[in-house]
Amino acid sequence: MSISPLEQLLASRRSVRKYHATPVPRADVARILTAARRAPSGANLQPGRFHVLCGAPLEGLKSALLDAVAVARPQVSQFSYFPDPMPPGLKAKQRAAGYALYSALGIERRDLAGRKAQFDQNYRFFDAPVGIVVTIRADMGKGCFMDLGMTLMALFLAAEDMGYGTSGIGALGNYGDLVHEILDLPEDELVVCGIALGRPDRSAPVNSVRTERDALEEFARFKGFDG
């Protein structure tokens, strides 16, 4: 069986953590976001808002975030991202993903400063030319987060199809209150994540990282099929 263009797109997509400085035209971002909004949405509520930054506004947000890190500003997350405590099986996956990333960069396990410096790249939006802050109304139910997730995946695939790279930035939620302040967000919106967007630097070692996916039999059950 031949691989479809969609399967090829899904297989080639990865989180990009190094970008070229080439500007991204507003029209391209608008096209990507318009395509993403075609994702399924329960009751057609279309949850999620996308605050798109480049140039001085993006640099201002990055500067504020890095200043917060430098002075150890208390983190204020507006929702829970990971289970707490993290079950052992999931913790193993998290560690494997981190090991793959740091190995590609030549950062040793005990190099805590190197690991922190790389993590702080999240707050630089990995120096992508476009940064997107994703928000959702605070009164939305858990199902709306699922719908927003489908929109994000549609966004990533639309960008990939146009030759752009992306990376979701969950760490942005660590300073949700600060992002609110800098962007003057409505009080009823909470910060979900950030997105880096730009042309990927395909020569960068960090962009060679691929994480493993579970085998089909580990996450799916089939009943009633022949064979």
pLDDT at 181: 96
pLDDT at 77: 85
pLDDT at 144: 96
> In angstroms, what is the C-alpha Rg of the chain?
18
Q: Cα separations (Å) of 104 from 6, 48, 206, 210?
A: 28, 33, 6, 10
SS3 16: coil
pLDDT at 81: 85
- With tokens 């109304």, the residue in question is 137
SS3 203: coil
Rounded distance between C-alpha atoms, residue 58 and residue 48, angstroms: 20
Per-residue pLDDT of the chain (227 residues; tens, 9 = 90+): 789 999 999 999 999 999 999 999 999 999 999 999 999 999 999 999 999 999 999 999 999 999 999 999 999 888 888 888 999 999 999 999 988 898 888 989 889 999 999 999 999 999 999 999 999 999 999 999 999 999 999 999 999 999 999 999 999 999 999 999 999 999 999 999 999 999 999 999 999 998 999 999 999 999 999 86
- With tokens 């099929």, the residue in question is 225
pLDDT at 104: 87
pLDDT at 1: 78
Going across the sheet that includes 130-137, the strands are 49-53, 130-137, 189-198, 165-169
Q: DSSP assignment of 62-130, as one string?
A: HHHHHHHHHTTPPPB-SS--S-SSPPHHHHHHHHHHHHHHHHHTT--TT-HHHHHHHHGGGGGGGG-SE
pLDDT at 97: 92
pLDDT at 173: 94
What letter would DSSP give residue 148?
H
Rounded distance between C-alpha atoms, residue 227 and residue 175, angstroms: 51
pLDDT at 189: 95
Domains of the chain and CATH, by start: 16-83+124-202 (3.40.109.10)
- Contact by Cβ (8 Å): 152, 36: yes
